[in-house]
Structure 1
Amino acid sequence: MKVAYGKKVVATQNYIASYVGAKVLENGGNAFDAAIAISATLSVVLPYTSGLGGDGFLLAKTPEGIIAYNGSGWAPKGLNVEKIPSPRHPSTVVVPGLVDLWNFLIERYTSMSTYELLKPAISLATNGFYVSKSLYKAIKNSSNMPESWIKTYGNLNAGDKVKLNEMGQVLKIIAKDPREFYEGKITEEIVSGLRKQGVNVDFSDFANFKGEEVKPLKTTYKDYTLYELPPNTQGISTLQALKLAELSNVNKFPYDDEKRINEHVKIYGIVYSDRNNYIADPRFYPLDVDLLDERYLRNRMKEFRVMIEKMNTQDTTFFVVSDGENEIGFIQSLFFAFGSGIVVKDIPFNNRGFGFTEGRNKPEPRKRPLHTLSILMAEKEDENLIIGCAGGDLRPQIHSQVFEYYADYGLEIDEAIDAPRFMFLGSRIVAEKRLKTKHEQLDYYSPEVGVVQALKSNKKYNIAVADPRSEGIALVAN
């Protein structure tokens, strides 16, 4: 298993990023320092999952309390469509929020200079890094991409050394002042590059943008207290899934029992139906239904029939880090692989606007779309868990299944991540072969059921876990 025990630990989806984070901790940095260094490194070496052109969220436990931050971007004020035409259309690009999240942490929590934190990523971008198998696979599987993407990424093969000099220059500017990304000369150049490729964005869309510190959602599961990120994220969907599992007592069955799987499909149908009907940017449409109320959930179980359209399983990356005092879950994303495919200064820009649908979540200027990113935290006495993953729409299923393995089936957190998972995809159900169900079978370890990283802490030690379904690793810092 990819697991590390210690006080200072880190687990990411990429071996270089895990190494960078561990070195920051070893050099005296705190978990927030390590988080920025990891985030920037992932932005360079896994550019199909996330980066400067995408969003970020944080959920952290500190001695002073829990911190939650929503760094998801808004649509340009010039957005004027009733429906987003296609996943790679220029109208899918929203103002990216990841660098704003970095700025929030730098202003309040980091202890090292920003340049030192970004130095590994700058070096990787300007001096070059080798294309991993996962990056090559993402490139190979991408089609109908814009010319700017083809020029930057389209001809790379596994093992090639690639330099992203312009991205490195942008990182150097951010190292001096992260707000320069939103209201500096580099902003003008980025906006110009986006506009030339059809994105109806202007300088003020960047300059006026800021993410926000938010209050996490809170509920219980048996003797655990659970936390998740609030709307515009689908964090409440994870909490709904777990409350429904608790109320239905579905985990009285063996983990691989067909009855358990089928009952979960019903649970997930309820969860996604409610998500699609109610979750949107609360600045436009505040949530006006208590989706976690027990009476409401019991009634939903009686009345609901599964009717859900196909769901997206897209690229994201999540990591955990602890310095022995602060425990961080950090997730960042472009949405689809390489986002919109539109590249400016070697930076792929998101297609998060494809998350707009209709009703409350219809496209509107300066609005944030329903966001698939979320992070689960669970507390019990002196024990704390942080669980996150890559998985798109499937994230509530992935979070809840891993947590249920841990809470209901007595597995340690690394065993819970290793355990076989199934996924309800709307039109069908798939499962890893180890489950031995009648449903469509995937490989024994398939990234199609999500790539999870997790952190468990108690008074004695921390455990960081990287999913065996990825090229990531967990490391301890001395």
Structure 2
Amino acid sequence: MKVAYGKKVVASQNYIASYVGAKILENGGNAFDAAIGISATLSVVLPYTSGIGGDGFLLAKTPEGIIAYNASGWSPKGLNVEKIPSPRHPSTVVVPGLVDLWNYIVENYTTMSLHELLKPAISLAINGFYISKSLAKAIKNSQDLGESWRKVYGNKEAGDILKLREMGEVLKIISRDPREFYEGKITEDIVLGLRKQGVNVDFSDFANFRGEEIKPIKTTYKDYEVYELPPNTQGISTLEALKLVELSNINRFPYDDDTRINEHIKIYGIVYSDRNNYITDPRFYPLDVNLLDEKYLMKRMKDFNVTATSMNTQDTTFFVVSDGENEIGFIQSLFFAFGSGIVVKDIPFNNRGFGFTEGRNKPEPRKRPLHTLSILMAEKDKENLIIGCAGGDLRPQIHSQVFEYYVDYNMEIDEAVDAPRFMFLGSKVVAEKRLRTKYQQLDYYSPEVGVVQALKRTNKYSIAVADPRSEGVALVVN
């Protein structure tokens, strides 16, 4: 089922993870309980997208207000390169933040024990699970990765049973105390394993790491208040794109009109140019330009000077869950498929450091790179939306297109997720065949334009949507 209506709903990119979340809700857990269960399950069954070797972000609406948390990792203090040499180089590994996000949620919002919430993921890791088509495809496309990866994942095919016993044992330790992952005996083992594979990381890089509560950035689009995650994420790029669309009034054209698509491509060129020039870790270089100011945006459209950009359309996973009171958007990632390809204790470690570039965003010790992960939330009256996706650099385009379909073309949220999308890739433009444009055509439903999960809540019910471009499902608990 790709769409679910009800009070308590969940949608993720994987059927097992959606089932785990629904069972937690059914057993009396709240949305935060379910989020940890889903997150951990995804870490096991979709290890190419995310996991405890990677990072995560939370954006949630609660009766007390909106909360957001940034658990993106920082580079080791021993990072000493002026430029990251390649996408899978050991210097791309940053301290993973996902477990810190679990810790934050447990300390503030859950009603069940972490031991109980991690049980399904631990069982799947230790006892094994059947490899899905998407995982099998990711394995097949990643055969150039290193020996530590090949030993765990390299010879597996769809339908095989994959056991990740060492990952399961690490999850058991985390279930007792998440900080053990950052400052315990297991940390020493992980650091040693990473150092043996060329990662210049120190125990203190883990022990000193903490994510942080953050304040979402906000703007308006038509009669909606729209929120995104602030830098070091590219969330502001989504808002900039939406403001440029609103100012230019290009959605007066039909959604499949070539004029509309061409104007969007121009807008995306501006947005990515600004992102690459300004967005990085604000602890090092605070954002000193108001990218959402209307005068600034009008000038950018008039001048239209952009810098060349290339797009990474790599793997991530996003899910939504609502318990009728709390609505959660949760995104977690390694960056590329299986991240750096460096595996310790069955855990693939991220290559988020490949997000470093130059200038403000150059590699520096204990710095967080420009981050592709973000989450869109929108409010109007008693209506609340959360939209997120897998899509790498394409995320601002994916978020804005789905939201525009919903607002400007009067589609329900499941129709907006289903509707055909096009993507500006820097050097070319691609589009799903259903748009019938002059640009390079993809399949009718292609994950190359992102895999979206979305949530809508009204005062009557919630709607959860899983993208038909994935193997995910949406479930309801009555």
Task: Tell me the TM-score normalised to structure 2 length.
Answer: 1.00
Match of 2:264 in 1: 264
Q: Structure 2: how far apart are the matches of 1:143 and 1:306? A: 36
* CA positional deviation for 1:144: 2.1
- Superposed CA offset, 1:286-345 (max 9, x none): 000100000000000000145432210000000000000000000000000000000000
CA RMSD of aligned residues (A): 0.6
* CA positional deviation for 1:189: 0.2
Q: Structure 2: how far apart are the matches of 1:468 and 1:358? A: 37
Match of 2:91 in 1: 91
* Residue range with higher mean Cα deviation, 306-315 or 465-474: 306-315
The amino acid that maps onto 1:182 is Y
Match of 1:139 in 2: 139
Q: Structure 1: how far apart are the matches of 2:288 and 2:328? A: 30
Match of 1:250 in 2: 250
Q: How does 1:10-25 map to 2 (within 5 A)?
A: 10-25=10-25
Q: Structure 2: how far apart are the matches of 1:64 and 1:459? A: 16
Match of 2:166 in 1: 166
Match of 2:420 in 1: 420
The amino acid that maps onto 2:402 is V
Q: Structure 2: how far apart are the matches of 1:306 and 1:94? A: 30
- Alignment of 1:125 onto 2:125: yes
Match of 1:154 in 2: 154
**Is the contact between residue 121 and residue 168 of structure 2 (CA under 8 Å) also seen in structure 1?**
yes
The amino acid that maps onto 2:346 is D
**Is the contact between residue 191 and residue 203 of structure 1 (CA under 8 Å) also seen in structure 2?**
yes
Identity in percent: 85
Match of 1:220 in 2: 220
Match of 1:102 in 2: 102
- Alignment of 1:279 onto 2:279: yes
- Alignment of 1:4 onto 2:14: no
SS of the aligned residue for 2:334 comes to strand
- Alignment of 1:187 onto 2:193: no
Q: Structure 1: how far apart are the matches of 2:344 and 2:370? A: 25
The amino acid that maps onto 1:151 is K
Q: Structure 1: how far apart are the matches of 2:163 and 2:401? A: 39
**Is the contact between residue 244 and residue 297 of structure 1 (CA under 8 Å) also seen in structure 2?**
yes
**Is the contact between residue 56 and residue 330 of structure 1 (CA under 8 Å) also seen in structure 2?**
yes
**Structure 1 stretches lacking a partner, 5+ long:** none
The amino acid that maps onto 1:133 is K
**Is the contact between residue 63 and residue 326 of structure 1 (CA under 8 Å) also seen in structure 2?**
yes
Match of 2:322 in 1: 322
Match of 1:52 in 2: 52
SS of the aligned residue for 1:20 comes to helix
The amino acid that maps onto 2:54 is G
Match of 1:441 in 2: 441
**Is the contact between residue 266 and residue 305 of structure 1 (CA under 8 Å) also seen in structure 2?**
no
- Superposed CA offset, 1:354-385 (max 9, x none): 00000000000000000000000000000000
Q: Structure 1: how far apart are the matches of 2:273 and 2:5? A: 40
Task: Tell me the TM-score normalised to structure 1 length.
Answer: 1.00
Match of 1:463 in 2: 463
- Superposed CA offset, 1:130-153 (max 9, x none): 000000000001132110000000
Match of 1:374 in 2: 374
Q: Structure 1: how far apart are the matches of 2:307 and 2:82? A: 24
Match of 1:63 in 2: 63
Q: Structure 1: how far apart are the matches of 2:306 and 2:59? A: 32
Match of 1:397 in 2: 397
Q: How many corresponding residue pairs? A: 478
- Superposed CA offset, 1:73-124 (max 9, x none): 0000000000000000000000000000000000000000101000000000
Q: Structure 1: how far apart are the matches of 2:415 and 2:274? A: 31
**Structure 2 stretches lacking a partner, 5+ long:** none
**Is the contact between residue 148 and residue 342 of structure 1 (CA under 8 Å) also seen in structure 2?**
yes
**Is the contact between residue 307 and residue 426 of structure 1 (CA under 8 Å) also seen in structure 2?**
no
Q: Structure 2: how far apart are the matches of 1:145 and 1:15? A: 27
SS of the aligned residue for 1:335 comes to coil
- Superposed CA offset, 1:239-285 (max 9, x none): 00000000000100110000000000000000000000000000000
- Alignment of 1:358 onto 2:378: no
The amino acid that maps onto 2:243 is K
The amino acid that maps onto 1:343 is V
Q: Structure 1: how far apart are the matches of 2:215 and 2:60? A: 12
Q: Structure 2: how far apart are the matches of 1:458 and 1:130? A: 37
SS of the aligned residue for 1:430 comes to strand
SS of the aligned residue for 2:387 comes to strand
Q: Structure 2: how far apart are the matches of 1:55 and 1:175? A: 18
SS of the aligned residue for 2:369 comes to coil
- Alignment of 1:239 onto 2:239: yes
Q: Structure 1: how far apart are the matches of 2:128 and 2:294? A: 54
Q: Structure 2: how far apart are the matches of 1:450 and 1:403? A: 14
SS of the aligned residue for 2:431 comes to strand
SS of the aligned residue for 1:377 comes to strand
* CA positional deviation for 1:477: 1.1
**Is the contact between residue 101 and residue 211 of structure 2 (CA under 8 Å) also seen in structure 1?**
yes
The amino acid that maps onto 2:9 is V
**Is the contact between residue 143 and residue 154 of structure 2 (CA under 8 Å) also seen in structure 1?**
no
Q: Structure 1: how far apart are the matches of 2:347 and 2:373? A: 20
The amino acid that maps onto 1:355 is G
The amino acid that maps onto 2:229 is L
Cα separation, partners in 2 of 1:281 and 1:307, compared to 1, 3 Å = closer
Match of 1:453 in 2: 453
Match of 1:75 in 2: 75
* CA positional deviation for 1:176: 0.2
Moved over 6 A (4+): none
The amino acid that maps onto 2:418 is D
**Is the contact between residue 317 and residue 331 of structure 1 (CA under 8 Å) also seen in structure 2?**
yes
